[in-house]
Homo-oligomer: A and B are copies of this chain.
Amino acid sequence: MADPIIIGTVALDSLETPFGKVQNILGGSASYASLAASFFSKPGILSIVGKDFPCEHIKFLNGRGINTEGIVLGEKTFRWQGFYEFDMNEAKTLRTELNALESYKVNVPENYKNAKYVFLANIDPELQLAAIKQIKNPELVVMDTMNFWIEHKKKQLLEAIDKSDVIVLNDAEARQLFNTPNLVKAANAALKLHSKSVIIKKGEHGALLFTDKKHFSAPGYPLENIKDPTGCGDCFGGAFIGYLAKTRDLSEANMRKAIIYGSIIASYNAEDFGTKRLQKISHEDIEKRYKEFKDIREF
């Protein structure tokens, strides 16, 4: 049985950073998140691709132990084209072709329905809601989103938040969604909704976890060479839920560890284009960086 289940996009990305240019590579929130989760567990993807989607990507995902039977086939694959400027902080979109995503109807395979861990990766909140309705009795639902949905489907987004246990946002989205520059205030506003925990991703500055009474601050990993930050946020969420699905421990203390694993996978992901770097790292690499994370915050 696949667990965690990850709904999100599977895309063909074309992008340019100050360090190079790639065309039509495997991208999308579900691809990055499932790849990250696959270091810890056996994820299953819910998504749609088109007839133009290269079979090798499916084979690659399957080779990582990722179940793809929840990827349905439409006409044309979702495509994103963008670039990063000098500071690499923000992806600038040149072109988005939703293609098959526009007609995607979520249909959760039987084999996914008893999963206990669900990650609603960045995708239309209506699709996130459709997925969560079809999974029988999840123990933990984690959701991510992006500014586009805050601007265009806030009502549905708040509904998806209401069905989730953990919300993952980046700092700009948290400030935008809760209309405050102060991240502590934003997190407290989020905790007043249904969510038990709020995670705020801050890129190079690390990540914050807010629960009812506790606060955790994960450091950023000191990366000198960032080649392509695409998918880092998705990797973070995917590794986070993958680690929780493996350890089956939802204590706040274990969530802290899951956040560190999320940060580790995200930090490796930025070191090369697309999924290239994650294809090469081993469990030893992950544990080595885990120790480094321990060391950089010791006092």
Q: Which residues of A contact B (CB under 8 A)?
A: 86-89, 181-185, 188, 202, 204-206, 208, 210, 214-220, 222-224, 226, 253, 256-257, 259-260, 293-299
Contacts and interface: CB of A to CB of B under 8 A. Distances in A.
Contacts of A220: 217
Given A217-B219, A259-B299, A260-B299, 10 more contacts: A183-B204, A205-B206, A206-B219, A208-B222, A214-B295, A216-B298, A219-B297, A256-B299, A293-B299, A297-B297
A295 B214 CA distance: 9
Contact of A184 (B181, B202, B217, B223): B223
Copies in the complex: 2
A134 to B, nearest CB: 34
Most buried by B among A223, A226, A259, A297: A297
B217 A297 contact: yes
Contacts of A88: 181
For A206, A217, A218, A296, which residue has the most chain B Cβ atoms within 10 angstroms?
Answer: A217
Contacts of A210: 222
A179 to B, nearest CB: 10
B219 A219 contact: yes
A161 to B, nearest CB: 21
B182 A216 contact: no
Given A181-B89, A257-B299, A222 B215 contact: yes
A260 B205 CA distance: 17
Nearest to A256: B299
Contacts of A206: 205, 217, 219
Given A206-B217, A296-B216, A296-B217, A222 B257 contact: no
